[in-house]
Amino acid sequence: MDDELQEEIKKCLKILEENIDILSNLELDLESQKEDELTSDLNLHQLYDMTEDVAESAKLKRAEFNLMRRKAEDA
């Protein structure tokens, strides 16, 4: 029974891993739709900061996913 459960968890994790980029992009698209608003007078450094924030957010989400995957594999 435990082996079957572990196999099912591994299958689910593999599916998630294969689709994490798509899910992440969907989430970002949904978030950006909520925040879509024209902002004028942005300086170049503000745009650069915003780009860095988005990249860091994606890295954090990927790290969280990998951590959860490793914890599930150890269980």
Quote the distance between the C-alpha of residue 29 and its chain's center: 12
Considering 36-40, 43-47, 60-64, the range whose residues carry the highest mean pLDDT is 60-64
Q: Which domain holds residue 63?
A: 2-32+40-74
Check if the beta carbon of residue 58 is closer than 8 Å to that of residue 24. Answer: yes
Number of structural domains the chain divides into: 1
Is pLDDT above 60 for 1?
Answer: no
**Element of type H or E holding 75:** none
Per-residue pLDDT, 48: 80
Phi and psi at 43, nearest 5°, equal: -85, 160
pLDDT at 24: 75
SS3 43: coil
